Structure 1
Amino acid sequence: MQMELTPNTTPSGFLLPSIHAAPPFFTEQPTPSTQSLFADHWIRLILSYARHRRLFILRIEDAEGPGSDWDEILRNERINRRVLPSYLSSLIAVLVSKELAVYEPAKQTRSVLLLWRQPEEWAEALHVWATASGQLNTILTFYEITDPPIPSPLSGLPIPLLRKAINVLTRSGRAQIIGVADGEGVRLFSGTK
């Protein structure tokens, strides 16, 4: 019995595209044009799933066995397929080459920080949050930004990505890094873009 290629909704409520039901989608293709097309589909899938679940880190280990946050897309039990670690490694390299991910920590190739929002978008989200919460011209620790008492769009944001966003604001004169007792902080200014 052949399975029809149809979209499928995961337990987390994410709608998988119909290509996710195609067995060849889970393996690296020998034809460069086909592989390039599949890689583009995988990149869209990885980034949209990361945004849906607010996932920031993707590791080769996520494809090595069941139980990762990525199982819903790296595996398809209905067709008995999964992405192998070697294939995920090549997909990660494509994400990095397209500047949609950065190796984190640097100087290794097994783990990336996904940029499902670019640092410029996070910078705007940070500035809007600070303005709306009345915290402009206040020194905020990185912890206060990423773990606020009231959840915000910045909740859980990895520090390396927060730094990139702050650097964007610093370049436009809307932020200043400040040394504080327990590490680093930032002061945000109203400023203009």
Structure 2
Amino acid sequence: MALSTHTTASGFLLPSIHSAPPFFTQQPNASTQSIVGEQWIRLILAYARHRNLFTLRIEDAETTGGDWDEILRNERIHRRLLPSHLSFLFSEMVSKNIAVYEPPKQTRSVLLYWRLPEEWAEVLHGWAISTAQLNTILTFYEITDPPIESPLTGIPVTILRRAITVLNKTGRAQIIGVADGEGVRFFAGT
């Protein structure tokens, strides 16, 4: 089978490397594995962004029928990413600060930063301005589950909190305690 790109059912374009059987195997040569690892990481982050996915678990490589099947498996060449290889990729992503183990103190699940907290901070602040939410106290729920879908719909509170922390440091947001949890007030900033 020749290497070729493939469009998944969700509309994601898989790179041609995804049709190469060795891509699904952890490579014994460190420099080869480094290249393969970088390609996997780019693929995982691009797919997560495409599908608006934030969490990847070892179980996603162990079982079928999940959100990640389109990239963790290639039925056309009868290959799948093994959990041990995915675990290795987790450690690489965490070491590069493009993922964090979530919940902390375990290594079977990561929260993916397909946008860094600093980038989410800009998206969040831009959303607050475009929806006329400056100087208004909003709950985290109102941001993550707005009545009209936004780029922040479904964002995990962990990432939201980190983005707000970035905005807080630049004087563009303030975390406020509200009756049913936490809220945030946005400012125009400088």
Equivalent residue number for residue 108 of structure 2: 110
**Alpha-carbon distance in 2 for matches of 1:83, 1:32:** 18
- Return the match for 2:40 from 39, 42, 45: 42
Equivalent residue number for residue 52 of structure 1: 50
Equivalent residue number for residue 137 of structure 2: 139
Shift of 1:68: 1.2
TM-score, normalised relative to structure 1: 0.98
- Return the match for 1:32 from 30, 33, 52: 30
**Alpha-carbon distance in 2 for matches of 1:138, 1:149:** 16
**Alpha-carbon distance in 2 for matches of 1:66, 1:132:** 40
TM-score, normalised relative to structure 2: 0.99
Shift of 1:149: 0.4
**Alpha-carbon distance in 2 for matches of 1:124, 1:158:** 16
Q: Deviations over 1:61-116 (max 9, x none)?
A: 00001011000000000000000111100011101111110111111111111000
RMSD: 0.5
**Alpha-carbon distance in 2 for matches of 1:69, 1:166:** 28
Equivalent residue number for residue 67 of structure 1: 65
Shift of 1:189: 0.4
Following superposition of structure 1 onto structure 2, how do residues 36-185 of structure 1 map, counting pairs within 5 Å? 36-185=34-183
Flag as ranges the 4+ runs of structure 1 deviating above 4 A: none
**Alpha-carbon distance in 2 for matches of 1:148, 1:104:** 24
Q: Deviations over 1:18-39 (max 9, x none)?
A: 0000001001000001100000
Shift of 1:126: 0.7
- Return the match for 1:6 from 1, 4, 11: 4
Which runs of no fewer than 5 residues in structure 1 stay unpaired?
Answer: none
Partner secondary structure for residue 155 of structure 2: coil
Which runs of no fewer than 5 residues in structure 2 stay unpaired?
Answer: none
Q: Which residue identity lines up with residue 153 of structure 2 in the other structure?
A: S
Q: Which residue identity lines up with residue 44 of structure 1 in the other structure?
A: R
**Alpha-carbon distance in 1 for matches of 2:89, 2:189:** 39
In the alignment of these two chains, the number of paired residues is: 190
